[in-house]
Amino acid sequence: MKNIVILISGGGSNMAAIVKTAQRDDWAGRLGAKVAAVISNKADAKGLVFAREHGIVTEVLDHKAFASREAFDAALAAVIDRFDQPGAPALVVLAGFMRILTPGFVNRYAGRLVNIHPSLLPAFAGLHTHQRAIDAGCKFAGVTVHQVTPELDHGPILAQAVVPVLPSDTADKLAARLLTQEHLIYPRAIADLLRK
């Protein structure tokens, strides 16, 4: 069984979408994979409640308790590695995990570390993507599932979804419309990755 470890910092709506899809589509039986753990860098992350209610192991690792980014990432890797199995290393999924990871951490999980970003990469890497798309006069915006590399928001693209930018859009309205797309494409992209 291949373990999926999901990292969150907040509400965990993408994590919840992945868990629900994994259960509905019987990933355990059909793909030999299950969501084994949800790890957060914030003890009050609401997504932890959902994970516990669905029988998933949860861990909290407060980044503020570490002297450096490298020390936090090393401790995080030690927790993730508890879910690695011989011949079936865990897939590590970033789902609203609001931490920039060190190159050492990213390289450790190369090829099995995925993220979803709220823009059509390579456009608008980084933060405030919805407002930046509106300010640039974009007619379309979207979301991208990608493999994580040391360069922020620039890994190989696994899936994208597109929505029109409406004249009445604010950053919040556009974000809400795109979130529904995130909940569809992220589980689909992970399932595709598991089939390889």
C-alpha closest to that of 38 among 62, 64, 19, 65? 19
C-alpha closest to that of 178 among 188, 163, 159? 163
DSSP-derived secondary structure letter, 83: T
Contact assessment for residue 41 and residue 97, using Cβ atoms and an 8 Å cutoff:
yes
154 in active site: no
Alpha carbon 193 to chain centroid distance? Answer: 14
Write out the two tokens for 103.
Answer: 């190159």
C-alpha closest to that of 165 among 145, 137, 126? 137
Q: Which of 117, 130, 146, 183 is catalytic?
A: 117
Contact assessment for residue 152 and residue 127, using Cβ atoms and an 8 Å cutoff:
no
Annotated catalytic residues are 117
